Amino acid sequence: MNARSVRATAERGVAAATGGLATGSAQRRMQVAAANRELEQASCGGG
């Protein structure tokens, strides 16, 4: 990755963290939480 793309990604993260993308980040958090639950269930299931 070049510096420009890294910077753009960082700025996007800051915008999400500051609520600039409130709805999108909320959906992202829900998706991440669901994925983490699935991973925990899979790992705890011994599979």
Spatial contact of 21 and 15, defined as CB atoms under 8 Å apart = yes
User: How many folded domains does the chain comprise?
Assistant: 1
Q: Quick check: pTM over 0.75?
A: no
Alpha carbons within 13 A on the beta-carbon side of 8: 5
pLDDT at 29: 83
d(CA 41, CA 43): 6
For residue 34, the enclosing domain spans: 3-44
Per-residue pLDDT of 4-45, as tens digits, reads 887 878 777 776 666 655 566 777 888 888 888 888 887 776
Q: At how many degrees (to 10) do helices 3-17 and 22-44 cross?
A: 100
pLDDT at 41: 81
